C-alpha cells in the first residue's frame, strides 16, 4: 500500500507516519529527514538541499524526482510505503505517479492532516528535534540529550525559527495545498484527518480512514 501524507508543517505527519508505518509494517519515507541527514553528512544532496531548507523554501522538483525514484526502486518499499512530505507540488505528484506507473504501481490513498494556523505555529515554535533520530519533542530545551538515548542532542531546527515557520506555511498554501485537488481529480481517495488531540486518537482516526481504502497490493 502506498500512502501519501499531506498537511501543513506542524500537523504531525512525521509522528503519525511513524506510528502508521509500524502498524502497517511498511517503511516511512520522510524526505525532510533524508535531506537533514544528507546535510549533516555533507553529501552533495545535502549541500544542495541546505540552500533552501533553512529558510523554509522547497528543494527543487528535479532533486525530489531523483529521491522518489530511488525510494520507490528500493526493495525496502516493495510492500508499500508511507510517503511523508515527499509530495509538495503538483509537478512532484505527477512525477511520483509516472515513477509508480513505470513499475505498475500507484498511490492508494492520501491522508490529509488538518490543524488550525494558531495550533501549527504553537507546535512548531515550541518543539525541539533530535539531531540524530530527528524525533521532535515538546517542552524540552535545546541541548538536552535525546530521550531515545541514541547519543543525539535536541536542537531547534533552523526552519522552526519564526520567520521560516511563516514562510513554510505560505509555501504550503501556495504550492502544496493544490496537490490535494490534483489527487482528487486523478481518482485517488483523499481522507481528511482532524490532527488536533491526543497523538493516539489521531492515529486511530487515520487507521480508521485507511480501512475504507481499497488495497492494490
Distance between CA atoms of residues 10 and 15, nearest Å:
10
| Residue 38 interacts with ligand ADP (CB under 6 A): yes or no | no
Distance between CA atoms of residues 217 and 46, nearest Å:
33
Task: Write out the binding residues for ligand ADP, residues 82-101 only, by CB under 6 A.
Answer: 85-86, 88, 92
Tell me which residues are annotated as active site.
Answer: 13, 88, 127, 157, 168
* Other CB atoms within 10 Å distance of the CB of residue 200: 9
Query: Beta partners for 29?
Result: 83
Q: Which of 12, 27, 32, 152: binder of ligand ADP (CB under 6 A)?
A: 32
> Least CB distance from residue 8 to ligand ADP, whole Å?
8
Antiparallel, parallel or unpaired: β 81-84 and 28-30: parallel
> Least CB distance from residue 211 to ligand ADP, whole Å?
26
Contacts for 70 with CB less than 8 Å, ≥ 6 apart: none
Residues 153-182 as x/- pattern, contact with ligand ADP by CB under 6 A: ------x--------x--------------
Distance between CA atoms of residues 112 and 85, nearest Å:
11
Task: Write out the binding residues for ligand ADP, residues 45-74 only, by CB under 6 A.
Answer: 52-53, 56-59, 64
| Residue 9 interacts with ligand ADP (CB under 6 A): yes or no | yes
Phi-psi region for residue 42, left (φ > 0), alpha (ψ -120 to 50) or beta? left
Distance between CA atoms of residues 207 and 143, nearest Å:
35
Residues 110-149 as x/- pattern, contact with ligand ADP by CB under 6 A: ----------------------------------------
Q: Point out which residues bind ligand ADP (CB under 6 A).
A: 9, 30-32, 35, 52-53, 56-59, 64, 85-86, 88, 92, 159, 168
Amino acid at each position: 500500500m502506498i500512502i501519501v501524507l499531506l498537511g501543513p508543517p506542524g500537523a504531525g505527519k512525521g509522528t503519525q507516519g511513524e506510528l502508521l508505518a509500524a502498524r502497517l509494517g511498511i517503511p516511512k519515507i520522510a524526505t525532510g529527514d533524508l535531506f537533514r541527514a544528507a546535510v549533516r553528512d555533507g553529501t552533495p544532496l545535502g549541500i544542495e538541499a541546505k540552500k533552501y531548507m533553512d529558510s523554509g523554501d522547497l528543494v527543487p522538483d528535479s532533486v525530489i524526482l531523483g529521491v522518489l525514484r530511488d525510494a520507490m526502486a528500493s526493495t525496502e518499499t516493495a510492500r508499500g510505503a508511507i510517503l511523508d512530505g515527499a509530495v509538495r507540488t503538483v509537478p512532484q505528484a505527477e512525477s511520483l505517479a509516472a515513477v509508480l506507473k513505470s513499475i505498475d504501481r500507484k498511490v492508494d490513498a492520501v491522508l490529509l492532516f488538518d490543524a488550525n494556523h494558531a495550533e501549527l505555529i504553537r507546535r512548531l515554535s515550541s518543539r525541539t528535534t533530535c539531531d540524530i533520530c530527528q524525533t521532535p519533542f515538546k517542552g524540552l530545551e535545546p541541548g538536552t540529550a535525546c530521550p531515545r538515548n541514541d547519543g543525539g542532542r535536541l536542537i531547534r531546527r533552523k526552519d522552526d525559527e519564526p520567520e521560516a515557520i511563516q514562510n513554510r506555511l505560505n509555501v504550503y498554501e501556495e504550492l502544496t495545498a493544490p496537490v490535494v485537488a490534483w489527487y482528487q481529480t486523478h481518482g485517488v481517495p483523499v481522507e481528511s484527518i482532524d490532527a488536533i488531540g491526543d497523538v493516539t486518537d489521531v492515529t486511530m482516526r487515520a487507521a480508521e480512514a485507511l480501512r475504507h481504502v481499497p488495497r492494490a497490493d
